[in-house]
Amino acid sequence: MYRTKVYYQDTDAGGVVYFANYLKLFEKSWFEYLLSNGISLPDWEQQGTFVLVKNVLLDLLDKAYYGEELEARTSVSDVKNAQFTLTHAVFRNGKAIARGETLMVCVDVKGKPRRIPEDFKKRLIACQTSSATMI
Amino acid sequence: MYRTKVYYQDTDAGGVVYFANYLKLFEKSWFEYLLSNGISLPDWEQQGTFVLVKNVLLDLLDKAYYGEELEARTSVSDVKNAQFTLTHAVFRNGKAIARGETLMVCVDVKGKPRRIPEDFKKRLIACQTSSATMI
Amino acid sequence: MYRTKVYYQDTDAGGVVYFANYLKLFEKSWFEYLLSNGISLPDWEQQGTFVLVKNVLLDLLDKAYYGEELEARTSVSDVKNAQFTLTHAVFRNGKAIARGETLMVCVDVKGKPRRIPEDFKKRLIACQTSSATMI
Amino acid sequence: MYRTKVYYQDTDAGGVVYFANYLKLFEKSWFEYLLSNGISLPDWEQQGTFVLVKNVLLDLLDKAYYGEELEARTSVSDVKNAQFTLTHAVFRNGKAIARGETLMVCVDVKGKPRRIPEDFKKRLIACQTSSATMI
């Protein structure tokens, strides 16, 4: 989960958040979400496991304006051996204004695909289970 | 079509182009592609027609590094009354390293959906036909 | 004051925060600093007063890496009739890693310079006084 | 020298180029300027010489709007043993709309300051001389 306001740097000449900036918000959201579930991406990098984005879906449902408060939330929707899927939503006053999905792959320091390390995977699965329970 | 190099500003600590920056490359590509087909987005804005991104798909096929030359190409894949779909690809040395699709909607100055103006639509359809012919 | 972590989006292929991104951090810092002192920039825009950046100084003292926590702080260092100067610093663990200054000018909706509105200016001067007192 | 248009991604809700984006334009300008003078920054990185920004000055003289064509130009204004100064300007229709200066330092792969390599320095000095001659 990541809360932020819309600053000038996030907007474009249309007066609203520039579409590509929702992906940046997703990144902040998944970083904090994973961290709060015991998965520190910077720590895993130190140990040689890197996480890359492979695929992105983004749906823009409404506009967001300068000064507004946004909240991005992430959940784990699928976990495989070497990749996992995250689902993201951005809310303003509790209403979703953007939704998205990112397929993440694990690679080693040379960029070669590798299995998700055991502890990392265990925690992802725990996230997934708890998200499912919340529904 | 838009040619660029990868500058520091496009990369991240992983040493490659940051995933969200492909969307920025798409924007430059569609702007130039439409312009070269007689559709100036800034001119249409002057006349009250704005084009927004509604949906995005992005597939990352390979990495791109600092200093490399990239070429982004756009084509029109679908044209409806109030929206159209653009298909994008980013190439390095003729090999696709990213692909994507953006669903674009026409809105008026207040952000309300409107039909694509006649001349704009005619040109989009001409683009679509010529893309189809190229295949 | 604005606290953030360094995310991938903030870094470049050198592995550290991209130099221009410190200005974005300054913007978030001055927005929040002014807001906490009763100056809401978005509200002033609604009333026809816009604040533009005219000049920037930036000194990079140290590097910041992915995952690190940063804190940006702003103070008011000068207030004139139509412009004011903000001083910024970015800290990591209490140590300054970047410093900067921005000269801000007030303009109307057409971009013409205008005097800082009375209430806005009064609050800026209060900020300046309290900063001075802290030293 | 670097020519570009102003795209949506460069602008903010004020309808003009976001101030920090001028620094990104400077980077593209110095990259291309140095390259055209025989200094390939990515090649020097391969050989263990990295160039960092240490100081920035930025003056915003006029606004730039969506769709406008800009040209950024760089020149070498000072060369020392381990650092050099670049001067930048951004023009629209031949009129400067932004000016700036960046102090660059050479570091090794670990980020430690190092002397500018001989060939690199020789070329910088040649740039400086030819800039001076142009005036």
Pick from C20, C58, C111: which is nearest to D24 by CB? Answer: C20
pLDDT in tens, D68-105: 999 999 999 999 999 999 999 999 999 999 999 999 99
In this structure, the dihedral spanned by the alpha carbons of residues C44, C22, A7 and D2, taken in order and rounded to 10 degrees, is 100
Contact call for D31 and B66, based on CB within 8 A = no
Interface test mutation site (partner C, options A7, A17, A69, max chain C beta carbons within 10 A):
A7
Nearest to B14 among A21, A23, A50 (CB): A50
Q: What is the mean pLDDT of residues A119-124?
A: 98
- Cβ-nearest to D7 among B7, B27, B65: B27
- pLDDT for the residue numbered C131: 73
Question: The tokens 């070498």 sit on which residue?
Answer: D76
Give pLDDT tens digits for A11-63: 999 999 999 999 999 999 999 999 999 999 999 999 999 999 999 999 999 99
Single-letter residue type at B97? I
Q: Do D31 and B5 touch (CB under 8 A)?
A: yes
C-alpha to C-alpha distance for B9 and A25, rounded to whole angstroms: 18
Question: For residue A41, which residues of chain C lie inside 8 Å, CB to CB?
Answer: 67
DSSP helix/strand/coil, B127: helix
CA A119 to chain centre: 19
Q: For residue C42, list chain A residues with Cβ-Cβ distance below 8 A.
A: 66-67
Considering only CB atoms, which chain B residues are within 8 Å of D24? 7, 9
B28 contacts D8? CB cut-off 8 A: no
Q: Which of A114, A108, A127 lies closest to A32 in space, CA to CA?
A: A127
In order, the DSSP letters of C56-103 are EEEEE-S--BTT-EEEEEEEEEEE-SSEEEEEEEEEETTEEEEEEEEE
> Cβ–Cβ of D12/A14 closer than 8 Å?
no
pLDDT in tens, B5-58: 999 999 999 999 999 999 999 999 999 999 999 999 999 999 999 999 999 999
Residue B1 has pLDDT above 70, yes or no: yes
Question: Per-residue pLDDT for D135 more than 90?
Answer: no
Q: Is the pTM of this model over 0.80?
A: yes
- The chain C residue lying nearest A22, using CA atoms, is C9
Residue A12 a catalytic site member:
yes
- Spans of all domains in chain D: 2-130
* ipTM for this prediction: 0.95
Closest CA of chain A from D30, distance in Å: 23
Q: What confidence score (pLDDT) does residue D130 get?
A: 84
Confidence of residue D131 (pLDDT cuts 50, 70, 90): confident
Instruction: Output the CATH code of domain D2-130.
Output: 3.10.129.10
Q: CA D66, CA D11: separation in Å to the nearest integer?
A: 7
Residue of C nearest to A10 (CA): C24
Among C14, C20, C54, the residue with its CB nearest the CB of D23 is C20
Residues of D with catalytic roles:
12
Q: How many whole angstroms separate alpha carbon C56 and alpha carbon A59?
A: 36
| DSSP string across chain A | -EEEE--GGGB-TTSBB-TTHHHHHHHHHHHHHHHHTT--HHHHHHTT-EEEEEEEEEEE-S--BTT-EEEEEEEEEEE-SSEEEEEEEEEETTEEEEEEEEEEEEE-TTS-B-PPPHHHHHHHHHHHHHHHHH-
Task: Give residue-wise pLDDT tens across range D1-49.
Answer: 999 999 999 999 999 999 999 999 999 999 999 999 999 999 999 999 9
